[in-house]
Chains A and B, each alone.
Chain A
């Protein structure tokens, strides 16, 4: 990591311009439909200036402030996941020739250099997990192509939401790696650090000033405050054994009374990667496109095996999600699948709190009633 330098607030546009000159399509946070979402953004003034978020179980609202900061908010519903693990992606096409023979062809993907600005530490931790999943021995070609051309500008998180608990999972709020360039936002501007060769090269092209010791001290204090102000936490970093030892805990019935089995927690989770496949065929049988779509472990199809629905009810579907996320991932990827972003808490329509459920499930049933 390079020494931090300061990018004055008025010169932030230079970051977008230099990325554009290098052939990157810039994607950044912006306000849309009452939330902060990531989409094409090449104008720094379109960032969420003066915007904050209030997040609680099952509730998300934007707040407006008089300040000039543009990253003084915690994560919205999505960030990197849909950009790399596409919600819907054609995998191959099959055509039937005049002689009746079928021919399979892969889908050509146009190369596209993309730079994402404003990525948080929790999402970088999730990215590391997705890389382990999608870039392993049988690498996913679509993910790999998009990943190879991705430039990441991360931002230290200074304003965690009430739903955040990245400090407890060890994944935030400070950016410690996984990005090309990282920013720390202060009132006057941004501390900039290069983390990769590409990041340092971009840094050399920015109109930077030396960082003062006051800037460094303020930045450190803000990040420390962002960590200590988090009130939620998981009861431990490895809950594998306790969860699998409690598959008949009465709390599963309790949470099933509140769970809609709608799968929103999965869809917003930056690490969930389940998918289903469909065929989009022409009526005349001349050709068909094979599609991959996001799925969730709350759908019937997810547990439909050999003519049998293995998980017919909400209790077993929620249990599948939580025990895989906080238990099974340790066997598969060497760590929990939770990075503490809190999205599943805020975006659950009924406000189910993964930290509260995990805490209750880790206690003996008799002591569970006071949660």
Chain B
């Protein structure tokens, strides 16, 4: 948040017509599209204020449609997707990746830290029929984006809040608070301190409402790293709580393994990596 974000609409006359909204899909489970469909009354309000020009899960299909706002679900993990996202960029004024796949690569980014070809060979009898890139990466690794909304799935409320701001001609304000702050605002008891649970709340951006700690579970970072995430410090704390090096690595190896700070923790702690973090403190 150190540079002012781009103004919502460069054209001063977008209100002569309803803004056009597209929802695109790349490598993903469709869960973020379903999170939008689950918006209930919010979805009706969206339909009343936007022309929904493309949203496959809602039955509207026109991938090439010009859009004012393109919500993009999924990671780029095939050569075809690499081309498609460029086309989306060209005919969309605001590109907003939604969810862990689109913002960090998603669970499919596990292959970024492995030998993707050997994984393919071990899973498929004829891997030559699979056309995939060796990595699964975030939308922002391929085209410039205006705003990112993380989460697995994306927070419906955050999407609606961003659309509300854009509709009002204001710049959306990205959530930056860590899960810990949200957890404390809700009066929940810290599972790390009171139970010794390896909670990722101190390094994860909120958006979930500190859902897992509220149910007595440790956060597993499904919204990805917050700003200024002290991942190395938290990883050492997990070791001190009794986790072995591989278990520490696995805490950061969920949907956001492709986010740079979590990728680094996995590299540092996963065996047989040399120098798994013990030597630096």
- Residue numbers of A with Cβ under 8 A of B are 32-35, 37, 58-61, 77-78, 82, 87-88, 257-264, 267-268, 278, 281-285, 293-296, 299-301, 304, 307-309, 312-314, 317, 346-350
Contacts and interface: CB of A to CB of B under 8 A. Distances in A.
Interface string B232-255: 011001000000000000000000
A268 B167 contact: no
A283 B49 contact: yes
A349 B46 CA distance: 41
B228 A259 contact: no
A257 B167 contact: no
Contacts, number: 130
Contacts of A34: 189, 194-195
25 contacts: A58-B192, A59-B196, A61-B194, A87-B186, A87-B187, A260-B230, A260-B233, A260-B234, A262-B202, A262-B230, A263-B180, A267-B180, A278-B173, A281-B168, A282-B45, A283-B45, A283-B164, A285-B168, A294-B181, A295-B181, A301-B1, A301-B177, A309-B2, A314-B230, A349-B234
A251 to B, nearest CB: 16
Contact of A294 (B176, B185, B192): B185
Nearest to B214: A33
A37 B194 contact: no
Nearest to B50: A283
Interface in B184-203: 184-190, 192-196, 199, 201-203
Interface of B: 1-4, 42, 45-46, 48-49, 160-161, 163-165, 167-168, 173, 176-178, 180-181, 184-190, 192-196, 199, 201-203, 216, 227-228, 230, 233-234, 237, 281
A130 to B, nearest CB: 17
B233 A258 contact: yes
Contact of B4 (A307, A312, A317): A307
A37 B233 contact: no
B201 A262 contact: yes
Given A35-B194, A261-B230, A262-B202, A284 B48 contact: yes
Nearest to B192: A349
A259 B187 contact: no
Contacts of B3: 307
A109 B163 CA distance: 31
A284 B41 CA distance: 12
A148 B3 CA distance: 44
Nearest to A317: B228
B230 A308 contact: no
A264 B281 CA distance: 23
B202 A60 contact: no
A264 B193 CA distance: 11
The dominant DSSP class at the B interface is: helix
B185 A300 contact: no
A338 B167 CA distance: 45
B1 A32 contact: no
B42 A283 contact: yes
Given A33-B194, A263-B178, A307-B3, A349 B202 contact: yes
Given A262-B178, A309-B2, A32 B237 contact: no
Contacts of A301: 1, 176-177
Which of B49, B165, B167, B181 has most chain A Cβ within 10 Å?
A: B181
Nearest to B39: A283
Given A263-B184, A281-B164, A312-B228, 10 more contacts: A58-B193, A59-B193, A59-B196, A258-B233, A260-B202, A261-B178, A283-B163, A283-B164, A296-B181, A314-B230
Nearest to A36: B189
A348 B173 CA distance: 28
Contacts of B168: 281, 285
A284 B4 CA distance: 25
A304 B1 contact: yes
B167 A285 contact: yes
List 9 A-B pairs, minimum CB-CB distance, nearest first: A267-B184, A262-B202, A87-B185, A260-B202, A33-B189, A262-B180, A34-B194, A283-B45, A35-B189
B193 A347 contact: yes
A100 to B, nearest CB: 13
A257 B277 CA distance: 13
Given A283-B45, A293-B185, A314-B228, A349 B193 contact: yes
A329 B132 CA distance: 59
Contacts of A314: 228, 230
Given A281-B164, A294-B185, A349-B234, A33 B216 contact: yes
A216 B225 CA distance: 56
Contacts of A263: 178, 180-181, 184
